[in-house]
Structure 1
Amino acid sequence: MQIQTLPAAVQRPRGTPGATGLSPTGPSQPLQAIRAVASTNLGEQGQRGEAAAAPAAGPLASPFFEPGLQQDLAAAQQGLAWLDGLAQKLQGLKKSVSQQLAGAGSTAQSEQSLREFGTAWLQRRRQAGGMVDGQLRVVDAGQARQGFALRGLDLASLDEAGTETLSFAIPGVAAPIAVTLDPAEGRAALVQRLDQALAPGGLRATVAGETLRLSCKEAQWPALAEGLSIKGEGRRFPGGQRVRALLDAEPELLQPQGWSLDGAAAQRRTLGQIVAVQGRLGEAQAALQQRLGEQALPEPTDVAARGQALLAFSQGFDAAAAEPLYQRFAELAPALQGVRREHVQQLLLTAQR
């Protein structure tokens, strides 16, 4: 009886992945192509005889994965879903108020629609993925900011109050931040100096029209509003002990709690506000949809080369799997998993005697 040389795959110990063709002369060309691609893209851990000592290869990372990309996509999708829901509630409110003005709707229905819209707007910070600020502007995820004014520090005081060093104690910041203001430098330079000094504490300073606007991240605002303290030299702020800073928050764009439905005149004003808000909502929705479209097809580093390698691997594997040789191996492989290399070698030596 002639004993055929068993495939090299049986030389692998139990549980070790990987296989070659059954031909004693070596693997078929498609399987060679698979091995070449896998070696390049999957990080093959050594040659056939060293497989037992080599660690198992890790999972193949997606060539379309970029750090932070999935989080950005999720935040944008969440923000767009919230905007869509808000737009639907606003449309429902518009319909109710219009019907009430036409004498075909009820006050109770309009009030219910207004409450639902107001509740949805109040949930912006929790449900918009950090992508929409209080002015209905689309921002980077988690970068929505709260604007505010600091009483005693405005453009007029910058220009006229004289040179003074201010010390800001910002909640969550270890050391106070000091900044010297000298009107001789000019308004633009003073605002820039103030902005640069406060930036490490998360605060920024800009000029909005004729107003000095300070801002912080929305998540920082509650602690800042309650805990910011400041000390001066007796010009803009008193010296000696620090005093609590008085901050006036920038109002949000929408104030549905102030919309009235009492009487036809109030209903018409509310309807006009609804139409204006619909325009801003549409702009925000379009901006987020565009951002999602830009992020849907990322171009990570060397994606083209890795994509071609994966395509070649897929095509080569499909071709090999279609060969009768591969089918035979697929049937034999389960029976060969328990065969150890030394057993096969002993069997071959016995047959040659």
Structure 2
Amino acid sequence: MQPVSSSVNAPASRATGATATRSSGTSSMAEGLREAQPLRITRQDWNPQRNQQTADTQRTLDYLERMTAQLQQLKSTLSAQLISQRATAGSNNGTTSALDRQLQSLDDLWRQRDPMTGSSLDSQLRFNIAAPATRHFSVRGLDSSTLATGERETLTFSIGQGRQSTASITLEAGASLQDNVRKLDRALAPMGVGVSLNGAGETIFSVAETAWTQVRDTLAIKGGGIRLPAGQAHRAKAEAQEEALTPAAWGTGDAAALRSTLQEVTQALEHVRRVAQQVREALERAKQSTVRAADAAWAATFAEEFGARAQAPDYEVYAAVAPALVSVNRSRVMSLLSLK
């Protein structure tokens, strides 16, 4: 009886071994898919520019929240000073000293705007994560009124010590303001300077904030004696637009100064909060975009892996794929495709 038992049990053992092999193969396939996907997804989802922009957006939000806190504290101190009736001309009490310290701290924070936000927040509190912060300015003698009229004239611009960068442009007689602005913009673009018209029709020059000091201090223009002086190049008068916050100009000397500063702080606080909300929304959009990119990468990787493995004429592969296909029918496919 023992030999019979052995012969009967042998096929069962082989079947069990085959089942184990199939299970092992299926498990290995599944584990291979699971192990391969995260690595491939990471590579496909890695976008240095997007990741840097997201980091700068978070830094900008942190900066704005810090500024909000300082402005709120300053507002409370100003209100307390006015209510206490201690704000008299020539006073020099402890509260005034505290106000001066808070103003100085706020001004210091404002001056650190560019490095603390990755150049994504300009002097007007405009948030732009796709381009460096810019400084807008006007040039005396090249406003909209002079650019809209005048005879033919050649202007030569230079920036930098020793005229490191130069550009020349000829304004034609009878050309429109828009034509002259576009011509200026094209000519000055290689120097990093932009020219445009704002909503009020004023001619506005712009440059990256990091280059503003050099432009302000070294911009020179030689004209033809019509809009600007002829002869040697003259230092241009470049005047920046007033910044959104000017803590250094806010006073605390008397009640009138305190009331004026309180009004400035209140307006600045509202402005900063609005911009902070815009940044929060941008950060949320960036997060959603990252999730969608990861989902798309996962789907592409899975389809690629699945297709490649399904092409292999291997029993273990078919054994793993078949159960997934048993319940596939037209209605289920249509239901999946209809999902948004």
Fold equivalence (TM over 0.5) = yes
From 63, 66, 76, give the equivalent of 1:82.
Answer: 63
Alignment match of 1:73 (pick from 46, 54, 57): 54
Within-5 A mapping of 1:214-293: 214-293=205-284
- Tell me, yes or no, if the aligned pair for 1:204 and 1:215 is still in contact at 8 Å: yes
What letter is aligned with 1:150?
V
Mapped partners of 1:271, 1:32: distance in 2: 68
Give SS of 1:118's match.
helix
Instruction: Point out the more displaced range, 238-247 or 187-196.
Output: 238-247
Alpha-carbon distance change, 38 to 272 in structure 1, aligned in 2, over 3 angstroms: closer
CA deviation string 1:225-250 (max 9, x = no partner): 22222222222233443333221122
CA distance in 2, matches of 1:237, 1:82: 42
1:107 aligned to 2:108? no
Deviations 1:140-166 (A, max 9, x none): 255211111112211222133311121
1:96 pairs with 2:85: no
Q: Could you give the per-residue CA deviations for residues 92-137 of structure 1, whole angstroms, max 9, x where no partner exists?
A: 1101111111118822222222222222112212212212111111
1:206 and 1:222 map into 2 onto residues whose CA distance is: 20
Match of 1:337 in 2: none
**CA distance in 1 between partners of 2:248 and 2:160 (Å):** 31
Equivalent in the alignment of 2:29? 32
Name the structure with the higher helix share: 2
Residue pair 1:225, 1:247 contacting (<8 A) in 2 also: yes
Counterpart Cα distance in 2 of 1:110 and 1:233: 52
**Cα distance change of structure 1 residues 92 and 304 upon mapping to structure 2, 3 Å threshold:** closer
- Aligned 8 A contact 1:134 1:253 in 2: yes
Per-residue Cα deviation, 1:63-93 (whole angstroms, up to 9, x for no partner): 4322311100111111111111111111111
Q: CA–CA distance in 1 between the matches of 2:258 and 2:192? A: 42
CA contact (8 A) 1:129 1:142 kept: no
Please state if 1:154 is matched with 2:143. Answer: yes
2:107 paired residue among 95, 104, 118: 118
CA offset at residue 200 of structure 1?
Answer: 2.4
| Alignment match, 2:190 | 200
* TM score, norm. by length of structure 2: 0.72
- The alpha-carbon distance between structure 1 residues 24 and 90, as it changes in their structure 2 partners (threshold 3 A), is closer
Q: Structure 2: which 5+ runs fail to align?
A: 1-17, 86-93, 305-340
CA separation of 1:25/1:86 partners in 2, compared to 1, >3 Å: closer, same or farther? Answer: closer
Q: What CA RMSD, in Å, does the superposition of the two structures yield over aligned residues?
A: 3.2
SS in 2 for 1:179: strand
Q: Matched residue of 1:298: which SS?
A: helix
1:298 is matched with 289
Tell me, in whole angstroms, the C-alpha distance in 1 between the residues paired with 2:149 and 2:43: 60
Provide the secondary structure at the position in 2 that maps to 1:106. helix
Matched to 2:270, the amino acid is G
Q: 1:307 to 1:250 in 2, by over 3 A?
A: same
Aligned-pair identity (%)? 28
> Is 1:127 the equivalent of 2:116?
yes
Number of residue pairs aligned between Structure 1 and Structure 2: 277
Deviations 1:160-186 (A, max 9, x none): 331112122234996622222124121
Q: Which amino acid aligns with 2:171?
A: L
Shift of 1:25: 8.6
* Counterpart secondary structure, 1:166: strand
Give yes or no for contact 2:40–2:301 (8 Å, CA) kept in 1.
Answer: no
